[in-house]
Chains A and B, each alone.
Chain A
């Protein structure tokens, strides 16, 4: 069984498994065919002959298309980011525009505050818990949904449905399902089996678990559909050849499907990690961040400190630290996933 050929830099569903004959030869491999090189030369020569002004115009015209997004990026991201850093060095309360400069005091308060550190702990737990569980569930689910079976489209819709309502609404609904009272929906069901009642949202460990499980329930279907889209771009010939060679379905999954899904895994995990790090709505509506600070998140701390407590300077410092942390995680995820991708493909 041969590994499908692909360029390491190719992206998107199916783009990495183009036959090599369809790719343009580069100078590095030009020695393989003088005739092909001649064709490339003929194609490239007219470009070289263009006057510099025309070429500059072409480049400028292309660059002009970037202006709107650059303006939006500067106005909506760069300026607020710079102002956030400025406010983080002050005691800005949100009511007076003449705050005092306090240096790094806000950063010191954050690093010495146990509740802030508790928020960081659960945020990381939530991020990695949901990323791992959703990935482990969504890929096999996508493979199943890619098979032919009765009412397949209806099942796909049902699987996707939890991703439609807002997480805040889901949190409120699940509050009643996971009520620690005997009359709670889940505890009532367990009561018929002689189990419980269990303090789902009233115990530190169970509350953390409950928040993660609800997030996995809500997100697995969406990511399964993402994987399904990638799966449908994998040519069936690979599986057919493997089947003729005698590969079992499990072997086909681990040696053909999973490696070819690597681009999808990269995208899915990037979204899961960034969304997980900034999660707020689900834990807030489900547990309010409790018991204690067990399910408090960094974003909740930013909002509570800024809006609720009028400590915008402190909240800004937290936002700056959080932004740097998210950036580090995002870049690390990209580097690691691309390394893995190169090894596999």
Chain B
């Protein structure tokens, strides 16, 4: 094989490889299968096998007549792609998870059953049912929510002469100044995603509009610039005033968590998922999670959203068995087992979750749906806008763009998508 042959082959591979990134797909025409059989069901899990095995064992013990096959795919991107491929190739599992990232396509593509009015939806709060709803339909059984607030180290806060996080943004910034003067790293966050503090600020604004903020933005009667500039300006104060460095742009969530766990950081924004690791790393740490302080005279709020919901494929031929499975997942027994293993904040009305005591100040807010996350509340182009928002905010905290420019960029992106 001479070099010419090698180069020609390599050029061909390079050409084909680039296109193959996005080009593979089935081309069969859709045929909607329907059925009410009680036969075996397949389930594509979002949670790992460690979390789901006790739940599935419980279901199999309660319903030995229904064969259940579970496969696992980790969230988020890999799960979304696996499910999308299976839906497109007419091999959708009978039960799978509908999430913020795929709900528009799944509902719009009529790939999921309407669960509205089903008995197992009765204990699910309206907030969770509406999250995966559209035009009066309810397409996901969401049995949990997550909320993210400010997690603080009580011992480090004492160095600034206080024992808790204040409830207003001005006082929070003053606390950061005191911590800085005391030589303590006051606050860090990862800016690889939507900032928790900004999400909470926007949640408070949205609550003040009777939850119409996003509806107005997406029906064209308002713009991002109308609602986002003030929250962005307030949020950016901690960077503009030098209380937090823009190093957060290059930090991952795990790095922030490790700093907190080692006792090097007084406050961070996070949700329940980081607590087990922090406890394991530093069992003696005295910490608590509270609501994000309110800015511009608004009330404190939490970032958060309804967890992905269990959905039944519209192509399922074993719908009765699938509904039996969802009935078990929403039952007190099923929720209790899942909640214990996952440590999530379950929301069904007949089960009180057992959680880390550090979460006590936020649990009731989360369970009642006083949480907000922009990319969940947006009506379309969720990920497109989220990617743009994160990139623009990264530039803003570095002083390269202004809050007005961030909001305008989102308006431009929405208009073009």
A291 to B245, CA, bound (A): 14
A327 within 8 A of B: yes
Q: Complex Cα distance A147/B160, Å? A: 62
A203 to B7, CA, bound (A): 38
- Residues of B1-30 at the interface with A, using a CB-CB cut-off of 8 Å, are 2-4, 6-7, 10-30
Q: Which residues of B contact A293 (CB under 8 A)?
A: 391
A278 contacts B by Cβ under 8 Å: yes
Q: Contacts A83-B25, A84-B19, A323-B15; is A287 near B250 (CB within 8 Å)? A: yes
Is B252 among interface residues, defined by CB-CB distance under 8 A?
yes
Q: Is the CB of B14 within 8 A of A326?
A: yes
Q: Is the CB–CB distance between A76 and B16 below 8 Å? A: yes
The answer to whether B17 touches A278 (Cβ under 8 A) is yes
Does A191 sit at the interface, judged by CB under 8 A? Answer: no
A330 part of interface (Cβ distance < 8 Å): yes
Closest CB-CB distance, A68 to chain B, in whole Å? Answer: 14
| Residue A181 is within 8 A (CB to CB) of chain B in the complex | yes
Contacts of A180 in B (CB 8 A): 245, 247, 249-251
Establish whether residues B395 and A292, one from each chain, have CB atoms under 8 Å apart when the complex forms. yes
B251 touches which of A83, A112, A181 (Cβ 8 Å): A181
Interface residues as binary, A308-340 with B (CB distance below 8 Å gives 1, 0 otherwise)? 111110011011101100110011001000000
A280-317 contacts to B, CB under 8 A, are 287-293, 299, 302-304, 306-312, 315-316
Assuming A73-B16, A179-B250, is B387 touching A292 (CB within 8 A)?
no
Complex partner residue of A96 from B4, B22, B30, CB under 8 angstroms:
B30
Q: Is A202 an interface residue (CB 8 A)?
A: yes
In this assembly, does B411 line the interface, its C-beta being within 8 Å of a C-beta of chain A?
no
Check: A270 CB closer than 8 A to any chain B CB: yes
CA A288 – CA B252 in complex, angstroms? 9
Looking at the assembled complex, report how far the CB atom of B389 sits from the nearest CB atom of chain A, in whole angstroms.
11
Residues of B within 8 A of A207 (CB): 250
Query: B7, B249, B252, B416: which has the most chain A beta carbons within 10 Å?
Result: B249
* Interface window among A24-32, A87-95, A220-228: A87-95
Partner of A274, one of B14, B108, B392: B14
Cβ of B388 under 8 Å from chain A:
yes
Known interface pairs A87-B25, A322-B18, A326-B18. Does A308 touch B247 (Cβ–Cβ under 8 Å)?
A: no
Given the complex of chains A and B, what is the CA–CA distance between A15 and B4 in angstroms?
Answer: 13
- The answer to whether A327 touches B14, judged by C-beta atoms less than 8 angstroms apart, is yes
- In the assembly, what is the distance between CA of A276 and CA of B219, in Å? 42
| B interface majority secondary structure | helix
Asked if B80 CB lies within 8 Å of chain A CBs, one says yes
Q: Please, how many residues of chain A have a CB less than 8 angstroms from a CB on the other chain?
A: 79
B250 touches A291 (CB 8 A): yes
Q: Mark B25-46 against chain A: 1 for CB-CB distance below 8 A, else 0.
A: 1111110000000000000000
Closest B residue to A285 by CB, please name it.
B252
From B108, B247, B416, name the one whose CB has the most chain A CB atoms within 10 angstroms.
Answer: B247
| Count class of interface residues, chain B | 35 or more
Q: What residues of A have a CB within 8 angstroms of the CB of B11 in the complex?
A: 327, 330-331, 334
Q: Which residue of A lies closest to B387 (CB)?
A: A304
Q: Which residue of A lies closest to B14 (CB)?
A: A274
Enumerate chain B residues within 8 angstroms of A12, measured Cβ to Cβ: 2-3
Cβ contact within 8 Å between A330 and B250: no
Main secondary structure of the interface of A (DSSP, over half): helix
Chain B residues whose CB sits within 8 angstroms of the CB of A312 once the complex forms: 22, 25
Q: How far is the CA of A112 from the CA of B415 in the complex (A)?
A: 13
In the complex, A306→B22 CA distance in Å?
7
Contact A11 B2 (CB under 8 A): yes
Contacts A12-B2, A81-B16, A290-B391 known; A270 to B7 CB distance under 8 Å? yes
The 8 A CB mask of B217-249 against A (1 = contact, 0 = none) is: 000000000000000000000000000011111
Q: How far is the CA of A178 from the CA of B400 in the complex (A)?
A: 22
Query: Is the pair A310, B24 in contact by a Cβ cutoff of 8 Å?
Result: no
Hey, which chain B residues are within 8 Å of A330, CB to CB? 10-11, 14-15
In the complex, what residue of chain A is closest to B416 when comparing beta carbons? A109
Asked if residues B15 and A318 are in contact (CB atoms below 8 Å), the reply is: no
B388 to A, closest residue via Cβ: A115
Q: Are A179 and B7 in contact, CB atoms less than 8 angstroms apart?
A: no
CB of A98 within 8 A of chain B?
yes
Assess whether A199 is in contact with B19, with CB atoms less than 8 Å apart. no
The chain B residue with its CB closest to the CB of A83 is B23
B73 adjacent to chain A (CB < 8 Å): no
Q: Are A77 and B2 in contact (CB under 8 A)?
A: no
A175 interface residue (CB < 8 Å to B): yes
Task: Map CB proximity to A onto B179-205 as digits: 1 under 8 Å, 0 otherwise.
Answer: 000000000000110000000000000
Given contacts A115-B391, A179-B250, A199-B250, contact A95 B18 (CB under 8 A): no
Q: Are A310 and B105 in contact (CB under 8 A)?
A: yes
CA distance A200 to B109 in the complex (A): 44
With A77-B16, A278-B18, A320-B19 as given contacts, are A11 and B251 in contact (CB-CB < 8 Å)? Answer: no
A263 to B101, CA, bound (A): 49
Q: Is the CB of A95 within 8 A of B192?
A: no
Given A307-B77, A310-B102; A80-B84 close (CB under 8 Å):
no
Closest residue of chain B to A176 (Cβ to Cβ) is B255
How far is it, in angstroms, between the C-alpha of A335 and the C-alpha of B175 when the chains are bound? 64
Q: Which residues of A contact B143 (CB under 8 A)?
A: none
> Which of A11, A87, A92 is B3 in contact with, Cβ under 8 Å?
A11
Task: Say how far A205's CB is from chain B's closest CB, in angstroms.
Answer: 11
The yes or no answer to B88 lying at the interface (CB within 8 A) is yes
A9 on the interface (CB 8 Å rule)? yes
> Residue B87 at the A interface, CB < 8 A?
yes
19 CB < 8 A contacts A-B: A77-B19, A81-B19, A83-B27, A84-B22, A97-B27, A97-B88, A179-B250, A181-B247, A181-B259, A202-B248, A204-B398, A287-B250, A288-B192, A290-B391, A291-B394, A292-B392, A302-B22, A315-B22, A323-B16
Other A-B pairs beyond A97-B29, A112-B416, A202-B398, 9, CB < 8 Å: A76-B16, A81-B19, A94-B105, A95-B109, A98-B29, A202-B246, A267-B3, A309-B381, A319-B18
Closest 8 CB pairs of A and B: A77-B16, A11-B3, A201-B250, A84-B23, A202-B250, A80-B23, A180-B247, A95-B109
